[in-house]
Amino acid sequence: MCRIFKWIFPVILILFLLVILEFALKAFHIPDYIIPLPTQVVNVILTDWEIIFQNLQVTIIEWLLGIFLAILTGFIISLSSFKSQKIHSFLAPLLVISQSVPYLVFTPILMIWLGLGIAPKVVLVVLTCSFPISLVLMQDLISAKNKYKLIVDMFRLKESKALYHIYLPYALPGFFNALKISTSYSFGSAVLAELMGSESGLGIYLLRAQAIFCTDKVIAVVVIIVIISITSVTLIELLRKKIIFWNTFKK
């Protein structure tokens, strides 16, 4: 019951603010092309849902495929760095430097190399997600090894068993936190990449709406991006609680 109230209160607050915004926009006669009414945005989602859903499917496929490859890449990089000090010395500075680079600047190059299909968007999502995951997972694995090395040596555990039973469980909370952060903004990155050039996707719908100054359609896409991001973070948190059962407590 407590969890239900935690969800109900934010929803009621958002609806209340939207009602106030609706009346304020009407009272001050704000033009629709500047700020559309909330009811207009809802009407766009309902009337254009079939077109939006067709484009949304393309973007979600790009996004999910990119996240899967990013997780795989993140584990490969972090485990390789964990196993070898030389690899760690080489990769650690690169991972830190990579966080200062806005990956969207690579979009035009990826379009030239890979075309306008799904490939450049998937690569962009991989770039966006894999390095934060790698960095956090690598640091947590090394921290776990430094913390529990004495216990591993006392029980004479093999490195593989220590990794599976001690180091990796220790690093999983950090991995899921990095995954939540990465997935929350990677969907928006995929949509922005489609703006640079694409055959289909939510970004194409957004580009066409922008071209004809349909602000209500633009805001509708923003709302969908926010909903997808919040849903993905919620699902990852539920998965985290199921997998990391030893780190879950009830109030």
Q: Is the pTM of this model over 0.75?
A: yes
Report whether 168 contacts 218 (CB < 8 A). no
Q: Is a pLDDT exceeding 50 seen at residue 251? A: no
With cut-offs at 50, 70 and 90, classify the pLDDT of residue 2. low
Query: Tell me, what's the pLDDT at 249?
Result: 45
Average confidence score pLDDT of the chain: 87
Share of the chain above pLDDT 70, in %: 95
Average pLDDT over residues 59-79: 94
List the one residue out of 190, 203, 193, 201 whose CA is nearest residue 54.
201
Query: Tell me, what's the pLDDT at 210?
Result: 86
CA 209, chain centre distance (Å): 24
With cut-offs at 50, 70 and 90, classify the pLDDT of residue 239. very high
Least confident of 63-72, 93-102, 139-148: 93-102
Query: Tell me, what's the pLDDT at 115?
Result: 84
Contacts of 141 (CB under 8 A, 6+ apart): 78, 79, 82, 163, 167, 168, 170, 171
Q: Is a pLDDT exceeding 90 seen at residue 95? A: no
Query: Tell me, what's the pLDDT at 5?
Result: 60
Query: Tell me, what's the pLDDT at 227?
Result: 92
Between 213 and 232, residue with greater pLDDT: 232
Q: Is a pLDDT exceeding 50 seen at residue 14? A: yes
The model's pLDDT over 186-203, given as tens digits with 9 standing for 90+, comes to 898 889 888 887 878 899
Share of the chain above pLDDT 90, in %: 42
Burial of residue 221, with CB atoms counted within 10 A of its CB: 0-12 exposed, 13-18 middle, 19 or more buried: buried
The model's pLDDT over 174-188, given as tens digits with 9 standing for 90+, comes to 999 999 988 888 898
Query: Tell me, what's the pLDDT at 179?
Result: 93
